[in-house]
Structure 1
Amino acid sequence: MPSTRHTEPLVRPMRPRRRDEPHRVATSLELFFDLCFVVAVGQAGRELAGALAEGHGTGSALLHYALAFFAVWWAWMNFTWFSSAYDCDDVPYRLTTLVQITGALIFAAGIPRLFLNADFKLAVFGYVVMRLAQFTQWLRAARGEQGAARAMARSYALGVALVQLFWVVMLLVPKSAVNWFLPIGAIAELSVPAVAERRTQSPWHPHHIAERYGLFTLIVLGETVSAATVAMQSAVDEHEALHELIPIAVGGLLICFAAWWIYFAAPIHEHLRGNRQAFLWGYGHYLVFGSAAAVGAGLEVAVEHAVGKAHISAEAAAATVTVPSAVYLFTVWLLHARHGKSGPAQWVLPVAAALVLACTALGDGGVLAAGLVAAAAIAAGLWLSTRPSVPDASID
């Protein structure tokens, strides 16, 4: 008797998904994609921590970190918005996504060279692999679309291809000219979505996008905790300076716990009504993700300073934690929290960000103080949000 079991076709038409599709959640492939991409995030954080602990070339280290994180964030973000609109989950789609993951791992392998002597070759190769895989996905989407939507998909494909050609050309110019190419290339990358979607909008799913960003935030925070834990363990094994590390551990945990709390305090998908809100929100996450990962690097530096291995001042060591923590608090408020707050409660996070930054002056006690400020901000926000509203005097 022949089998009646339904089998899925290996290749399906890549058609746009509905923006109001119910129960739209992240897939196992998307989660695997995130976990592999965080390898590059961790590599960038480790290189940043090593450079900051040495105290030499801080400006160069921050620039290289910003460039490395931009590449990881931008490739991740483009995949995320595309998959929200066109994920058909067939064999070609899965294989192309695995190629993108391979490119991310190649890019991660090139990050140490980028920090050491500004060698972009391996990093650019990995980045181009990621982005050309995305180029083929947009070509597939164009074949499944019609009219303005097809023109949009083709514009994406053309834009991605041209910018990758630009990065390859950058490798051929003298090293002294590279600094001119980098900002031009970054602006070109950021401009592709705006140009491609100037007439029609890709059918991304607001709830799915919000979930994907939230999941990546969780993974980055997890990498931050992991990096700090490894640094603590190494310091204890080598120096047994537990009493000096406990304040850093407590402060770091409070910062990470607060970072999770404020990000997920209120749903954000209802705010993502169109491209104007969504683009600003999505682009702003460069600072959210980058600062969250930098907190982990800063905690590594603070640990090394506590055991005498970092060649920087106490204030500089504290700043490696307080500055990215303040950036995170302020950016999450700007993108997230202020949309669901009113009255005094909406100003808690900006004030907390300023106080965390001021904790830098405390030197060795700065990390613990910053953690206590972050925890106090959560408590203050909860208290203010539960206070009974004052009745309007004009209403009898």
Structure 2
Amino acid sequence: MVARHANEPHRVATPLELFFDLCFVVAVAQAAAALHHDIAEDHIAHSVPAYLAVFFAIWWAWMNFTWFASAYDTDDVIYRVTTLVQITGALVLAAGVPRAFADNDLTVITYGYVIMRMAMAVQWLRAGQADPERRTCARRYALGISLLLLGWLGRLWLPDELAVVAQVLLVVLELAVPIWAERAGRTTWHPHHIAERYGLFAIIVLGESVLAASIAVQSAVDTHGGDIGLLSVAAAGAVIVFAMWWLYFDRPARDLLDSLRIAIVWGYGHFLVFASAAAVGAGIAVAVDVETHTAHVGEVAAGYALAVPVAVYLVSVWALHIWPQQPGPATIAYPTAAALVLLTPLTPVSVHLTAGLLVALVVATVVTTRVRSVPEPGGGGSVDGRPAVLAQE
């Protein structure tokens, strides 16, 4: 298992990585659906911590595989089999999501997580054996993962009041393992590959919102005889998702990942991006329930089920993608839009106003980009097939 080069040309996601992502769609869908159900039933105090705990397990397992594969994807038989074991763990985890929300029982989720992480530890041990230069780093990963697996299993035996404390501690330690391991020798993850992989997962979580908008249209046509109000909610939900996609992919992130510190902040910060994007789908679904009078939650609370994740998404994308590349007064539009989105639930057209604010933000982003860019003298060549530009600060 030889480490791949960090500057390898034409590095793209492999079919196995795409299959891995596809299987994680199931887990993300289960988490979003459970969040939607709990909020619609007015179990908000229970739904938020449960959703964050479940989504952390999903995201963390996906992220660890992604960074490992960026450095050590040999695509041989052992690698493929080990990855398929990780996928099996993801499916077990997804199967445990309903029980986690309904009964606060994390047993099945923990077993699925343990399966994924055991396979990950095996991958790191194999990398440490074959890569002497980074052997200490790889073995630190394997050791940290293995010890924490015992911690997660032990947590199942604790009383509820201690289990919560143990869970928070275990999450902190999980986040610390890569920082500790990479101090012994940075793995050769590929910046462009990592940016692409994160972009693909962003599309997966945004897909949950697309599904919610689609279900709204289906409900309006099949059940409510083409109800205009429901169709308008579906249209506004679709516009919100389109704008979120535009804002995330407006500027490539690959050139930002030029140091381990930045990569850690950027990689960890995407928990908020991904969790909020998936939660937007749940918020749109709750808005549909309110419109069809099937929700047991008030209109203001239902409005915040959409407004809060949209605001978190805007602030996190701004902090990770926009501010590092264009600091200055122009970027104030993102936090301003987020603040205004948080006011929309106080109106009777929360979803529509949110959609309008995001469209305005997209327009402002496009205008700002064009104002800051002029053709490079002499034609300038191209970047990724597009004319090169020279930013004017």
- TM-score bracket for this pair, using the shorter chain length: over 0.9
Deviations 1:32-58 (A, max 9, x none): 1111111100100000000000113x1
Mapped pair 1:157 → 2:151 = no
SS at structure 1 position matched to 2:347:
helix
Which of 282, 306, 320 aligns to 1:321? It is 306
Q: Is 222-231 or 284-293 further displaced after alignment?
A: 222-231
SS at structure 2 position matched to 1:339:
coil
Query: Corresponding residue for 2:171?
Result: 186
Distance (Å, rounded) in 2 between the aligned partners of 1:108 and 1:303 = 25
Mapped pair 1:215 → 2:229 = no
Mapped pair 1:268 → 2:272 = no
SS at structure 1 position matched to 2:185:
coil
* Aligned sequence identity (%): 50
Query: Corresponding residue for 1:40?
Result: 27
- Following superposition of structure 1 onto structure 2, how do residues 1-396 of structure 1 map, counting pairs within 5 Å? 14-56=1-43, 58-147=44-133, 149-234=134-219, 236-240=221-225, 242-363=227-348, 365-387=349-371
Letter in 1 for 2:350: G
Distance (Å, rounded) in 2 between the aligned partners of 1:309 and 1:319 = 17
- Tell me by how many angstroms 1:380 deviates: 1.5
Letter in 2 for 1:387: V
2:32/2:281 contact within 8 Å kept? yes
**For residues 235 and 311 of structure 1, do their structure 2 counterparts lie closer, same or farther at Cα, with a shift above 3 Å needed?**
farther
**For residues 388 and 43 of structure 1, do their structure 2 counterparts lie closer, same or farther at Cα, with a shift above 3 Å needed?**
closer
SS at structure 1 position matched to 2:323:
helix
2:213/2:238 contact within 8 Å kept? no
Q: Is 255-264 or 218-227 further displaced after alignment?
A: 218-227
Query: Corresponding residue for 2:381?
Result: none
Distance (Å, rounded) in 2 between the aligned partners of 1:301 and 1:120 = 25
Distance (Å, rounded) in 1 between the aligned partners of 2:54 and 2:327 = 37
2:216/2:234 contact within 8 Å kept? no
Distance (Å, rounded) in 1 between the aligned partners of 2:9 and 2:145 = 31
Letter in 1 for 2:353: A
2:40/2:297 contact within 8 Å kept? yes
- Tell me by how many angstroms 1:235 deviates: 5.3
**For residues 122 and 37 of structure 1, do their structure 2 counterparts lie closer, same or farther at Cα, with a shift above 3 Å needed?**
same
Letter in 2 for 1:171: L
Query: Corresponding residue for 2:384?
Result: none
1:44/1:69 contact within 8 Å kept? yes
SS at structure 1 position matched to 2:17:
helix
- Tell me by how many angstroms 1:127 deviates: 0.5
Query: Corresponding residue for 2:387?
Result: none
Pairs aligned (count): 374
Distance (Å, rounded) in 2 between the aligned partners of 1:316 and 1:243 = 23
- Tell me by how many angstroms 1:359 deviates: 1.1
SS at structure 1 position matched to 2:158:
coil
1:40/1:108 contact within 8 Å kept? yes
Letter in 1 for 2:45: G
1:247/1:367 contact within 8 Å kept? no
Distance (Å, rounded) in 2 between the aligned partners of 1:31 and 1:283 = 21
Query: Corresponding residue for 1:393?
Result: none
TM-score, normalised relative to structure 2: 0.92
Which runs of 5 or more residues in structure 1 are unaligned?
A: 1-13, 390-396
TM-score, normalised relative to structure 1: 0.91
- Tell me by how many angstroms 1:236 deviates: 4.3
- Tell me by how many angstroms 1:319 deviates: 1.0
Superposition RMSD in Å: 1.5
Q: Is 236-245 or 109-118 further displaced after alignment?
A: 236-245
- Tell me by how many angstroms 1:339 deviates: 2.6
Q: Is 246-255 or 265-274 further displaced after alignment?
A: 246-255
- Tell me by how many angstroms 1:176 deviates: 3.4
Distance (Å, rounded) in 2 between the aligned partners of 1:388 and 1:336 = 16
